[in-house]
Structure 1
């Protein structure tokens, strides 16, 4: 039996490994940045001796191994495609720039509440292969799908496809906004029934082919729901999707009204001296900062992270942002707001600046606008750090 190659040994790669072990299948591993044990370490000269390649989401399409695999006619798949080949469970696919994890989690919860048997997997943090023995009794498996995952997927059967929104993000990986948007819209190629295609708000500069839109329900009329924990754009799409499962608008609003915001997503976690502190560490692009700025008043905004090639002109803040704290060597271009910009030298220096200035505002908003990898493992690590910094010292 030929071994398969796990290309990329992050969370997805390790889940693929667990599945292959459970099936007593041979495998080897290649990762550009990790040391792999010698007995499992893949050597490039052995590429023609592979059964197939399981590619992880973060691997670029032009990776040398993928190029050789294509030339050598070696099958390349993903954990999601392979799962779909061996399981008949109906899939609800959810992608978009902002709100995917929250949407997937809440959709799963409300479906279960109203009698459906469902579960979640994908970019939310668990490979569907981990659930392969538990899907027979499910009505639906809800998959959160990132642009990286969709970029690698070529075959998939989806019952309902949802693109929540499309704004600039991950341009450093996709090379252009058009390529990024294309990876998101690709999900509609996999839907069994065109009536179950849903598209939310998109950047005004994005031109989508009219022929594609003919087979999609575009949710563009945003209703005013005024729920404190969720943006109207999010709620409008959630109502539209729940109607597909025969859950009424009244029931949806009642449900969302009782649901707190997700941790690290516009999370009000602390108040002192009349000032609210909001952790929005999951904000990793400029559009999410823009949206957050619309829900605050007299606010000190704190940004952090790597800009990922996003056009700086996409930062369009509400007039309620009265001060902006950014790292000294930030990739963010905030020159248009220079009158209210305060620069901090390090994440440690940030605490003192907040302590000295927070009383001048009604809100302190940690809505980062960039990826966390400059200082932290991920947005969760970053959000926890910020909350501890505030709760312990302010």
Structure 2
């Protein structure tokens, strides 16, 4: 690791001890910092408490945290999801303390060049595809960040010959100051997370911190189908590399006559790409654009694109039972992501939707529901809004359920052979589940229980 003096002998306060906070606290302590930490949950007797104490991290109560903030803390590293109106963050800002997220610290420590990937949707798929391409090319790639692997776990493993691929959320980027990726990727920009940022303008400002420190020697890979991103590419000092799944481009990655191209070179036939959906063609183009910048050969790119079947919880194929196919798209936490899922199938869909009520406008989904959905089963805090959507679409089958197990049973009951049973909530999970992964696993469990129950009844 480089620049260890950024951490050594510093007094650092960690706010939030989830996976990223715990990993950060342990790393900073190992590098010679005095680390204090606080979490709203009681960690007494937990494995996390034991690990922190083993690394001389002082776990503070709320009152102790308020007191320590007044003393010689050098800076705060907060969990990305903790809002800036949190009392301890407000106290820190009043005291002119720097408030970072862990990706800022990782930037200072990393020996490997950083590839930063963000966007409203698609960033997890692009991150995973690119990592797979690099590893097929026998170049060591580490993926981390919002994808669920803490950057503080990865940084100590890196050399200058590796690639450090970070999936980055707006929450993470907001806590940066000097962070600079050699290659920045923005898949798309839509309206999201207004409950956290307050406005679309503030959400976009957070996303664009990815580009804030780039120079002419860096690269910006952007979606040329977005006028907003194309304009940013003209203004950004980094070298712009466009991609498009809709238009033929003069350079960059694009689709031409059902073939995948980079610049003027054909890479492969689009029909050989395994993951479904138009939106995934955009993700493929973004990943290939970065891969070509990194001089990955076509064989490695093709190997990934012909074998990669998707990431867990993102249009994940779960099972086929009695000629019905079940797909888990729990990571579709907003309207746009769910709309992409609905467009990905040419068979009738039994759509399981709903979750945390973020007051998102569902009206844009109406044409898709009319064209692709034969039945709607709504769960969660905002289920009444989805029921109204299904009724407006005049679907023959619309109902609400209290949980995913009931929803899966109902969807199966009203389905027919060759139908798709799709969980794509268009909502966050936090009304009923700690995260979208737990929600997706609950759906998978419900599907497995259903198939087992039906088999038992046949015996």
Same fold (TM over 0.5): yes
Structure 2 partner of 1:26: 34
Structure 2 partner of 1:285: 334
Instruction: Give the whole-Å Cα distance in 1 for the aligned partners of 2:361 and 2:213.
Output: 30
Structure 2 partner of 1:142: 165
CA change 1:331–1:356 in 2 (3 A) is closer
Q: Structure 1 residue 236 and structure 2 residue 244: aligned?
A: no
Q: Structure 1 residue 102 and structure 2 residue 125: aligned?
A: yes
Q: Is the 8 A contact 2:182 2:218 kept in 1?
A: no
Instruction: Give the whole-Å Cα distance in 1 for the aligned partners of 2:234 and 2:212.
Output: 12
Alignment of 1:286-301 (within 5 A): 286-296=335-345, 297-301=347-351
Pairing partner for 1:270 from 319, 329, 333 = 319
CA change 1:361–1:52 in 2 (3 A) is same
Structure 1 partner of 2:421: 364
Deviation at 1:290, TM superposition (A): 0.9
Instruction: Give the whole-Å Cα distance in 2 for the aligned partners of 1:142 and 1:193.
Output: 20
Q: Which has the larger radius of gyration?
A: 2
Equivalent residue of 1:43, what SS?
helix
Deviating beyond 4 angstroms after TM superposition, the runs of 4 or more aligned structure 1 residues are 36-39, 201-204, 248-251
Q: Is the 8 A contact 1:167 1:202 kept in 2?
A: no
Quote the RMSD (CA, aligned, Å): 2.7
CA change 1:112–1:217 in 2 (3 A) is same
Alignment of 1:1-394 (within 5 A): 3-31=11-39, 33-35=40-42, 40-41=60-61, 42-49=64-71, 50-193=73-216, 196-200=219-223, 210=231, 213-215=234-236, 216-222=240-246, 223=255, 224=258, 225-226=270-271, 227-230=273-276, 231-247=280-296, 251-296=300-345, 297-315=347-365, 317=368, 319-327=371-379, 329-330=381-382, 333-334=385-386, 335-338=388-391, 339-340=394-395, 342-347=398-403, 348-359=405-416, 362-394=419-451
CA change 1:209–1:94 in 2 (3 A) is closer
CA change 1:171–1:201 in 2 (3 A) is farther
Instruction: Give the whole-Å Cα distance in 1 for the aligned partners of 2:298 and 2:139.
Output: 17
CA change 1:87–1:376 in 2 (3 A) is same
Instruction: Give the whole-Å Cα distance in 1 for the aligned partners of 2:217 and 2:338.
Output: 33
Q: Is the 8 A contact 1:7 1:29 kept in 2?
A: yes
Instruction: Give the whole-Å Cα distance in 2 for the aligned partners of 1:228 and 1:73.
Output: 51
Q: Is the 8 A contact 2:131 2:142 kept in 1?
A: yes
CA change 1:208–1:109 in 2 (3 A) is closer
Equivalent residue of 2:292, what SS?
helix
Equivalent residue of 1:255, what SS?
helix
CA change 1:212–1:103 in 2 (3 A) is closer
Q: Is the 8 A contact 1:270 1:278 kept in 2?
A: yes
Deviation at 1:97, TM superposition (A): 1.7
Instruction: Give the whole-Å Cα distance in 1 for the aligned partners of 2:161 and 2:300.
Output: 23
Which stretch shifts more, 214-223 or 382-391? 214-223
TM-score for the superposition, normalised by structure 2: 0.77
Unaligned runs of 5+ in 1: none
Instruction: Give the whole-Å Cα distance in 1 for the aligned partners of 2:33 and 2:299.
Output: 50
TM-score for the superposition, normalised by structure 1: 0.89
Structure 1 partner of 2:251: none
Q: Is the 8 A contact 1:170 1:310 kept in 2?
A: no
Instruction: Give the whole-Å Cα distance in 2 for the aligned partners of 1:36 and 1:102.
Output: 33
Aligned residues: 391
CA change 1:122–1:154 in 2 (3 A) is same
